[in-house]
């Protein structure tokens, strides 16, 4: 898709957060436990973008680390998911 074409298609906003190395454990009675998420990116994608293509795009970014998990929050439910750590060989 050319740059001009992208200007005129319906788009969705996507935010990418690096999850902390360790999440809290146990129950969160009494208000929960604060967790720091690092916002590493945000961008627009064409409506109907394939999740696999989006994951590949994120893995090409300079902030991507195979040993980290990333929370992807999109404007629509199908663009909200977690990019898991890559399996160690």
Residue 53 lies in a domain: yes
Residue 1 lies in a domain: no
Domain range enclosing 44: 8-22+34-83
CB 83 within 8 A of CB 65: no
* Average confidence (pLDDT) per 10 residues, the chain, 89 residues: 63 94 77 86 91 95 96 93 86
Residue 69 lies in a domain: yes
Number of domains the chain is built from: 1
Q: Can you tell me the distance from the alpha carbon of 63 to that of 8, in angstroms, rounded to the nearest whole number?
A: 29
Residue 88 lies in a domain: no
Q: Can you tell me the distance from the alpha carbon of 51 to that of 59, in angstroms, rounded to the nearest whole number?
A: 12
Predicted model pTM: 0.81
């Amino acid at each position: 898709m050319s740059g001009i074409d992208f200007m005129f298609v319906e788009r969705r906003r996507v935010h990418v957060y690096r999850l902390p190395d360790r999440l809290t454990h146990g129950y969160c009675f009494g208000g929960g436990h604060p967790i720091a998420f690092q916002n590493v990116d945000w961008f627009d994608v064409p409506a109907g973008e394939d999740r696999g293509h989006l994951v590949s795009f994120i893995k090409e970014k300079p902030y991507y680390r195979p040993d980290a998990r990333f929370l992807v929050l999109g404007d629509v439910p199908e663009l909200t998911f977690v990019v898991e750590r890559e399996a160690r060989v």
